[in-house]
């Protein structure tokens, strides 16, 4: 079945925010909004769920700390418990202060990199990925709101969007869905 | 809108009449334009220095470390001095992008991209030294705890030099992803503007297919914040670990607990000085004076002043503790610094680091670009001497007088240092021509709160709703395309706040051709007498500076079109109604 969406283009972030509220009031479904910069409060107005990426970073950090402790405990205490300059290698805790810098660094390393990789995977960003913004102007100073047009009167919808401040409205057949 | 409220005491961070679209144009200008002769000259010099440095590095590795000026007593000198110097310079980038982000400092946005670039490039320079100062650099991979055929022979995790490996590589890699993630929206902007297929391809590749969805932005901001939260302790820990190279030793003059914070303060001090040096030139060369303003320079100078004072306090603390300690070795180490054979370098360091930042207390001096530039260079010279003094003066005379010696560098020592400066500038110059040097997506978020244009609008009591539109990209009637061709509709916006297409871009042109209205000598006419001009249109015309019949009477077809594109409503109306003709009649009556 042909799937159609309306692309409404706005030229101002405040107008966009008002428009999102108006559109939400009419219980229309906003598929997506493309914007050239983060519009603060837009995710709340659209009703997007908060991101959990910070939680993943915390877990990755815990993993990094564990890796550091296990690695240094094995190498310095279990495998070759040597006397290097009189440092007490009898137990991990006795020589722990010398391990703190690397415990710290690996915690940060794991948290930062794995979180960024998670972000790239979740947001589908990678080197040869094709950009998906439907209008090139949305990386300059235009904002594009994509609304489900199925089962709607396109003309009526367009007229309504004009009242919300849209400067350009396009009905697009969407092949993806 | 309240969302854009900012205390009136704050000066604008983006000066001039800049819209969102202007930010785009100004940021892409150096990327889309061609390099001029000066760029090629400076690049040529930097490249020559770099190649010379490579020659010296190859000479060192093939002939041995003996080609340097080191001896059995002073076994660290220029190599580690330069290493710490470069690492220190790198720290300001992270400070600006991470710490200032945590403190919500909006002024960071115009400088963070370049500061981070500086971080990356200077950490790359720093990273060369731990390898080339090795006697057998081809075995450098032995510092990594990789399982191996020697019964799995591991590294010793007690050494600060190994901590350095972890610290520097974590620092470089985390800074790199932080920087790159921030670059994605800006690369996407260049990608979407690119006309040439090759450019389009490159920037598509670099931008990772960034599309700017609401969800992407939500994650992007969270990732930036968490990375800032991670990078802040990272930057403190990295220079702390670098300072452990000395602080954990038993050498008098090195064995101090003050080093970790003192090195970090010194790093911020020298790093900000380097940012200042680079940006003072860049704002001029790349025409970014509207974004990197005097205020930015002043704020950086204040940071330099504060951290310079912290460094000064650390010097005094060291001197006090040496006297207070009652340890003759420690006392001699400082006596030697002040009066020994390297006293000149100690006093050069004191002059540059303790006195020069104190000039910044004077507003006249810290707001002077020439003076800031001069001081920022002086600070970096001073900070180089600081590391030299700490390393060399503590080593050349310590416990056993029979092993006292001197140090003087050879041309290879100097050549490698010059080479890294050349390499740094090669990278930075290439960056300045191919990368968006200002985080445009971030600057656009502060335009309405801190842009001069919008501040003025707000102060004159106008709403900012709709003021982001730019007539060059979004003029004309509303276009509706439902069945393959456009139809124009009139914009009748129903919203709580009125849309005021405030703009002064075409305005100046319009006023130039119509003549300005002088409230002192002229009287405003009732423009509503012209058929087709209602109260709303009159208000708009007044905003544009059109008050009299005489002005309207001078309007031509070109002016009508310009008016249409500025107001964005009732296209063609003025022409149809022949406002000029009507106004001419009214004016004669």
Q: What is the DSSP string of A66-104?
A: HHHHHHHIIIIIII----STT---SSTTTTHHHHHHHHH
B contact residues 216-245, partner A, Cβ 8 Å cutoff: 216-223, 225-227, 230-231, 233-234, 237, 240-241, 244
Q: How many CB atoms lie within 10 A of CB B247?
A: 20
The reply to whether A58 falls in a domain is yes
The pLDDT score that the predictor gives to residue A4 is 83
Residue B561 lies in a domain: yes
pTM: 0.84
Is B220 in the same domain as B96? yes
Query: Is A130 within 8 Å of B209 when comparing Cβ atoms?
Result: yes
- What sign for the dihedral angle of Cα B184, B190, B192, B198? negative
Residue B466 within a domain: no
Residue A100: CB atoms within 10 Å = 12
The answer to whether the Cβ–Cβ distance between A139 and B445 falls below 8 Å is no
User: What pLDDT, in 10s, does the model give residues A58-82?
Assistant: 999 999 999 999 999 999 999 999 9
Minimum-distance CB partner of B479 among A136, A142, A168: A168
Q: If you count residue pairs, one on A and one on B, with CB atoms under 8 Å apart, how many are there?
A: 282
Whole-angstrom distance, CA of residue A159 vs CA of residue B480? 9
Q: Do A13 and B468 touch (CB under 8 A)?
A: yes
Residue B465 belongs to some domain of the structure: no
The answer to whether residue B152 neighbours chain A at the CB level (below 8 Å) is yes
Q: Which residues of A touch B178 (CB under 8 A)?
A: 112
Cβ atoms of B489 and B476 closer than 8 Å: no
B387 and B307, same structural domain?
yes
- Nearest CA distance, A63 vs chain B (angstrom): 15
Task: For residue B242, tell me if it sits in a domain.
Answer: yes
Residues of A in contact with B227 (CB under 8 A): 112, 115-116
Owning domain of residue A71: 53-122
User: Does residue B407 sit in the same domain as residue B510?
Assistant: no
What domain range includes position B534? 504-588
Separation CA A100–CA B67 (nearest Å): 37
Q: Note whether B322 and B338 are within 8 A (CB).
A: no
Mark which residues 55-114 of B lie under 8 Å from A by CB: none
Closest partner CB to A136 (pick from B163, B192, B207): B192
Task: Report whether pLDDT(A156) > 90.
Answer: no
Interchain pair A128, B205: CB under 8 A? yes
Does the residue A174 lie in any domain?
A: no
- Identify all chain A residues contacting B495, using CB atoms and an 8 Å cutoff: 15, 18, 22, 164-165
Cβ-proximal residues to B160 (8 Å cutoff; 6+ apart), any chain = A101, B241, B244, B245, B248
pLDDT at B238: 93
Instruction: State the pLDDT at residue B479.
Output: 80
Is A73 inside any structural domain?
yes
Whether A167 and B491 lie within 8 Å, measured CB to CB: yes
Least confident of A44-53, A139-148, B528-537: B528-537
What is the CB neighbour count within 10 angstroms for residue B148? 12
**Same structural domain for residues B350 and B234?**
yes
> Which chain A residue has its CA at the smallest distance from B190's CA?
A139
- Give ∠ CA B299-B305-B308 in degrees, rounded to 5: 140
| Residue A10 counted as domain residue | no
Same-domain check for residues B299 and B372: yes
The structure tokens 């837009």 sit at A42
ipTM comes to: 0.93
**Helix/strand/coil for B554:** coil
The rounded distance, in Å, linking the Cα atoms of B194 and B31 is 10
Mean pLDDT by 10 residues, chain B (589 residues): 71 86 89 89 96 96 93 93 94 88 89 92 94 94 94 93 94 94 93 89 91 92 93 93 94 92 92 93 89 92 94 93 92 93 94 91 92 93 94 93 93 95 96 92 87 82 77 76 66 45 55 71 77 76 79 79 68 75 77
Residue B150 domain flag: no
- Check whether residue B425 and residue B511 sit in a common domain: no
One domain, residues B304 and B438: yes
Q: Using CB atoms, which residue from B153, B230, B496 is nearest to A112?
A: B230
Residues B234 and B321 in one domain: yes
Same-domain status, B339 and B217: yes
- Cα–Cα distances in angstroms (integers) from residue B98 to residues A139, B92, B103, B339, B345, in the given order: 24, 10, 9, 41, 34
B185 reaches A (C-beta below 8 A): yes
Portion 460-479 of B in contact with A at CB < 8 A: 464-470, 473-474, 478-479
Q: Is residue B113 in a domain?
A: yes
Q: Which residue has the higher pLDDT, A90 or B9?
A: A90
Domain count, chain B: 2
Contacts of A163 (CB under 8 A, 6+ apart): A22, B492, B493, B494
Residue B252 lies in a domain: yes
| Contacts with A, B 353-412, CB within 8 Å | none
Measured at the alpha carbon of residue B73, what is the angle toward residues B69 and B76, in degrees to the nearest 5? Answer: 55
Check if the beta carbon of residue B247 is closer than 8 Å to that of residue B260: yes
**Total domain count, chain A:** 1
Q: Residues B204, B300: one domain?
A: yes
What letter does residue B141 receive in the DSSP assignment?
G
Give the one of B191, B441, B496 whose C-beta lies nearest to A36's C-beta.
Answer: B441
| Residue at token pair 């801190």 | B450
Residues 550-569 on B with a CB inside 8 Å of A are: 568
Nearest to B221 among A38, A72, A159 (CB): A38
Does residue B461 form part of some domain? Answer: no
pLDDT classification of A113: cutoffs 50, 70, 90: very high
Residue A18 falls inside a structural domain? no
In a domain, A164, yes or no: no
Q: Does A150 fall in a domain?
A: no
Smallest Cβ–Cβ distance between B158 and the set A41, A98, A154 belongs to A98
How high is the pLDDT of residue B225?
93
Strand pairing of A168-174 and B478-481?
Answer: parallel
Provide the CA B45 distance to its chain's centre, in angstroms: 24
Same domain, B249 and B342: yes
Check whether residue B510 and residue B420 sit in a common domain.
no
CATH number at residue B441: 1.20.1630.10
Tell me whether strands A143-148 and A168-174 are parallel, antiparallel or unpaired: unpaired
Final residue of a structural domain among B411, B432, B449: B449
- In this structure, is residue A24 part of a structural domain? no
């Amino acid at each position: 079945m042909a799937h159609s969406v309306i692309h409404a283009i706005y030229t101002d972030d405040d107008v966009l925010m008002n428009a999102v509220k108006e559109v939400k009031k009419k219980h229309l479904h906003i598929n997506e909004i493309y914007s050239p910069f983060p519009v603060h409060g837009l995710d709340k107005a659209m009703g997007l769920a908060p991101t959990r990426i910070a939680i993943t970073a915390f877990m990755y950090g815990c993993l990094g700390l564990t890796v550091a402790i296990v690695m240094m405990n094995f190498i310095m205490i279990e495998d070759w418990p040597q006397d290097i300059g009189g440092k007490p290698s009898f137990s991990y805790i006795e020589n722990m202060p010398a391990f703190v810098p690397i415990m710290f660094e690996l915690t940060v390393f794991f948290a930062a990199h794995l979180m960024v990789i998670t972000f790239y995977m979740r947001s589908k960003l990678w080197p040869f990925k094709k950009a998906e913004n439907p209008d090139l102007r949305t990386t300059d100073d235009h904002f594009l709101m994509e609304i489900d047009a199925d089962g709607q009167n396109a003309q009526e919808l367009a007229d309504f969007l004009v009242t919300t401040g849209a400067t350009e409205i396009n009905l697009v057949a969407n092949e993806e869905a | 809108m309240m969302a854009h409220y900012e205390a009136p005491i704050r000066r604008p961070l983006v000066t001039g009449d800049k819209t969102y679209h202007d930010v785009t144009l100004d940021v892409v200008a150096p990327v889309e334009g061609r390099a001029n002769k000066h760029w090629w000259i400076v690049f040529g010099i930097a490249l020559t220095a770099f190649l010379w440095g490579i020659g010296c590095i190859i000479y060192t590795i093939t002939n041995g470390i003996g080609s340097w000026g080191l001896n059995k007593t002073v076994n660290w000198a220029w190599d580690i001095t330069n290493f710490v110097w470069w690492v220190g310079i790198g720290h300001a980038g992270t400070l600006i992008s991470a710490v200032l982000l945590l403190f919500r400092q909006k002024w960071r946005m115009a400088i963070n991209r370049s500061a981070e670039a500086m971080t990356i490039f200077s950490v790359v320079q720093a990273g060369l030294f731990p390898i080339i100062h090795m006697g057998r650099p081809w075995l450098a991979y032995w510092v990594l705890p990789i399982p191996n055929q020697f019964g799995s022979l591991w590294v010793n995790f007690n050494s600060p030099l190994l901590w350095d490996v972890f610290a520097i590589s974590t620092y470089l890699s985390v800074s790199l992803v932080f920087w790159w993630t921030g670059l994605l929206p800006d690369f996407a902007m260049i990608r979407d503007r690119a006309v040439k297929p090759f450019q389009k391809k490159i920037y598509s590749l670099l931008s990772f297919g960034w599309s700017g969805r609401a969800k992407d932005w939500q994650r992007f901001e969270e990732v930036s914040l968490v990375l800032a939260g991670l990078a802040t302790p990272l930057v403190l820990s990295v220079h702390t670990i670098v300072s452990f190279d000395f602080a954990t030793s038993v050498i008098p003059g090195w064995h101090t607990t003050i080093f970790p914070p003192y090195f970090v303060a010194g790093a911020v001090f020298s790093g900000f000085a380097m940012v200042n040096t680079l940006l003072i030139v860049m704002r001029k060369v790349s025409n970014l004076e509207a974004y990197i303003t005097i205020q930015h320079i002043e704020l950086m100078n204040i940071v330099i002043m504060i951290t310079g004072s912290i460094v000064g306090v650390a010097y005094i603390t060291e001197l006090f503790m040496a006297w207070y300690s009652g340890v003759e070795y420690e006392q001699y180490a400082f006596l030697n610094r002040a009066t020994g054979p390297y006293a000149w370098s100690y006093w050069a360091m004191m002059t540059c680091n303790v006195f020069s930042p104190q000039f910044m207390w004077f507003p006249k001096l810290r707001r002077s670009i020439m003076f800031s530039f001069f001081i920022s260079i002086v600070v970096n010279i001073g900070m180089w001497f600081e590391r030299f003094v700490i390393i060399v003066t503590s080593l050349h005379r310590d416990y056993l007088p029979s092993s006292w010696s001197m140090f003087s560098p050879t041309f290879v020592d100097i050549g490698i240092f010059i080479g890294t400066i050349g390499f740094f500038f090669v990278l930075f110059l290439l960056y300045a021509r191919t990368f968006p040097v200002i985080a445009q997506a971030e600057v656009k978020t502060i335009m309405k709160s801190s842009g001069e244009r919008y501040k003025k609008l707000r102060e004159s009591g106008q709403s900012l709703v709709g003021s982001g539109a730019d007539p060059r990209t979004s003029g004309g009637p509303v276009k509706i395309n439902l069945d393959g061709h456009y139809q124009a509709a009139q914009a009748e916006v129903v919203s709580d706040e009125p849309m005021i297409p405030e703009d002064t871009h075409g305005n100046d042109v319009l006023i130039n051709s119509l003549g300005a209205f002088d409230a002192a000598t002229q009287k405003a006419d009732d423009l509503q007498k012209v058929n087709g001009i209602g109260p709303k249109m009159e208000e708009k015309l007044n905003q544009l500076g059109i008050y009299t019949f005489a002005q309207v009477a001078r309007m031509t077809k070109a002016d009508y079109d310009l008016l249409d594109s500025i107001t964005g409503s009732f296209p063609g109306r003025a022409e149809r109604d022949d406002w000029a003709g009507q106004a001419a009649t009214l004016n004669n009556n």
